Amino acid sequence: MKALSCSTVRLGIPGLCLIIALTAACTFDASRLRTGSHGGDTADPPDAPTATGGSDAPATTGGVGGSDGPTETGGVFPTDGPISMGGVGGIGGSCETGGSMVPDAAVKAPDTAAAGSDAPTTTGGVGGSNGSTETGGAFPADGPISTGGAGGTGGSGETGGSMVPDAAVEAPGTADEVAPETPVEVCGDSTQACCAGSTCAGGGCCVANRCVANGAACSDGSICTSGSCVSPASLMASPSSSDFGPVLVGQSSSAATFGITNTGQQASGKIIVKASSTAFVVQNGSASDCVSGTTILVANASCTVRVVFAPKTAGPGSALITVSATPGGGSAAAMSGTGACPVDQLGDGTGNCVAMAGVTWTQRGTSQGWFSVAASADGTKAVAVVSGGNLYTSTDSGMTWTPRGAARNWSSVASSADGTKLVAAVSNGNIYTSVDSGVTWTPKATVQNWYTVASSADGTKLVAMVKNNYAYTSTDSGATWTLQGAARNWTSVASSTDGTKLVAGTWQGPIYTSVDSGVTWTPQGLSQNWNSVASSADGTKLVAVSANPGYIYTSADSGVTWTPAGTLQTWRAVASAADGQDIVALAAGGSIYTSTDFGLTWKSRDSARNWIAVTSSADGTKLIAVVNNGFIYTSSGPAP
Strand order in the sheet with 462-466: 450-455, 462-466, 469-474, 482-488
Quick one: pLDDT band at residue 348, thresholds 50, 70, 90? confident
Q: Hey, what's the torsion of the CAs at 517, 518, 524, 529, to 10 degrees?
A: 120
167 versus 407: which is more confidently predicted? 407
The confidence score (pLDDT) of residue 6 equals 37
How far from the centroid of its chain's Cα atoms is residue 47's Cα?
84
| pLDDT higher than 50, residue 231 | yes
Give yes or no for residue 168 having a pLDDT over 50: no
- Find the mean pLDDT for residues 205-232: 84
pLDDT above 70 for 395: yes
The β-bridge relationship of strands 329-340 and 241-248 is: parallel
Q: What is the pLDDT of residue 210?
A: 83
Return the top range by mean pLDDT from 65-74, 142-151, 483-492: 483-492
For the chain, give every domain's residue range.
1-177, 181-230, 238-340, 362-636
pLDDT for the residue 192: 64
The 8-class DSSP code of residue 456 comes to: -
Confidence (pLDDT) at 4: 37
Q: Is 238-340 in CATH node 2.60.40.10?
A: yes
CB–CB of 532/492 below 8 Å?
yes
Instruction: Over range 81-104, report the average pLDDT.
Output: 41
Rounded to whole angstroms, the Cα distance separating 96 from 634 reads: 143
Burial (CB < 10 A; 0-12, 13-18, 19+), residue 574, is buried
Confidence of residue 567 (pLDDT cuts 50, 70, 90): very high
Please tell me whether the peptide bond between 327 and the residue prior to it is cis, using omega within 30 degrees of 0.
Answer: yes
Residue scoring higher pLDDT (8 or 516): 516
Say if residue 437 is exposed, middle or buried (CB neighbours under 10 Å; 0-12, 13-18, 19+): buried
CA distance 53 to 113: 9
Tens digit of each residue's pLDDT (9 = 90 or more) over 406-453: 999 999 999 999 999 999 999 999 999 999 999 999 999 999 999 999
Whether 178 shows a pLDDT value over 60: the answer reads no
Contact predicate 30/118, CB 8 Å: no
- What is residue 128's predicted lDDT score, i.e. its pLDDT? 42
pLDDT at residue 182 greater than cutoff 70:
no
Tell me the percentage of the chain whose pLDDT exceeds 90. 60
User: pLDDT for 568-578, tens place per residue?
Assistant: 999 999 999 99
- Its pTM stands at 0.61
146 sits in the region (left: phi over 0; alpha: psi -120 to 50; else beta) called alpha
For residue 481, name the pLDDT band (cuts at 50, 70, 90): very high
Which tops the pLDDT comparison, 143 or 601? 601
Q: What percent of the chain has pLDDT over 70?
A: 69
Per-residue pLDDT tens over the stretch 21-42: 333 333 334 343 333 333 333 3
What is the gyration radius of the CA atoms in the chain, in angstroms? 61
Which position has the higher pLDDT, 89 or 467? 467
Cβ partners under 8 Å of residue 184, min gap 6: none
- CB-CB contact of 282 with 248 (8 Å): no
Please check whether residue 625 is in contact with residue 586, taking contact to mean a CB–CB distance below 8 angstroms. Answer: yes
Query: Would the pLDDT of 189 be above 60?
Result: no
Amino acid at 212: V
Mean pLDDT of 117-132: 41
CA distance 85 to 55: 9
Select the highest-mean-pLDDT range: 150-164, 186-200, 418-432: 418-432
Alpha-helical segments (H) within 487-531: none
**What's the rounded Cα separation, in Å, for the pair 637 and 633?**
14
Contact 562, 554 (CB under 8 A): yes
Residues 6+ apart with CB under 8 A from 504: 465, 471, 490, 492, 493, 494, 511, 512, 513, 514, 521, 533
**Separation between Cα atoms, residue 132 and residue 41, nearest integer Å:** 12
CA atoms within a 13 Å half-sphere pointing along the CA-CB vector of 535: 30
Q: What is the mean pLDDT of residues 354-375?
A: 96
Write the CB contacts of 478 (distance below 8 Å, at least 6 apart in sequence). Answer: 423, 431, 433, 444, 445, 462
Residue 582 to residue 286: CA distance in whole angstroms: 49
pLDDT computed for residue 181 by the predictor: 52
Whether the per-residue pLDDT at 214 is higher than 90: the answer is no
What pLDDT score was predicted for residue 34?
38
- pLDDT at residue 97 in the model: 41
Q: Give the model's confidence band at 204: pLDDT under 50 very low, under 70 low, under 90 confident, else very high.
A: confident
422-426/402-415 β-pairing: antiparallel
Mean pLDDT of 191-197: 65
pLDDT of residue 29: 41
Q: What is the mean pLDDT of residues 68-83?
A: 42
- Contact between 584 and 571 (Cβ < 8 Å): no
Q: Is 316 exposed, middle or buried (0-12, 13-18, 19+ CB in 10 A)?
A: exposed
Q: Is the pLDDT of residue 378 over 60?
A: yes
Say what the pLDDT of residue 222 is. Answer: 85
Q: How many CB atoms lie within 10 A of CB 515?
A: 16
Task: Tell me the residue type at 43.
Answer: A
Reduced to 3 DSSP states, what percent helix, strand and coil does the chain have, rounded to the nearest 5?
0, 40, 55
What number is the average pLDDT over the span 120-142? 42
Average pLDDT of the chain? 79
pLDDT of residue 225: 83
pLDDT-based confidence at 220, cuts 50/70/90?
confident
Predicted confidence band at 130 (pLDDT cuts at 50, 70, 90)?
A: very low
Task: Write down the pLDDT at residue 416.
Answer: 98
AA letter at 309: F
> Under CATH, what is the fold of the domain 362-636?
Methylamine Dehydrogenase; Chain H (2.130.10)
Residue-level pLDDT at 605: 94
Contact 93, 149 (CB under 8 A): no
Contact 130, 32 (CB under 8 A): yes
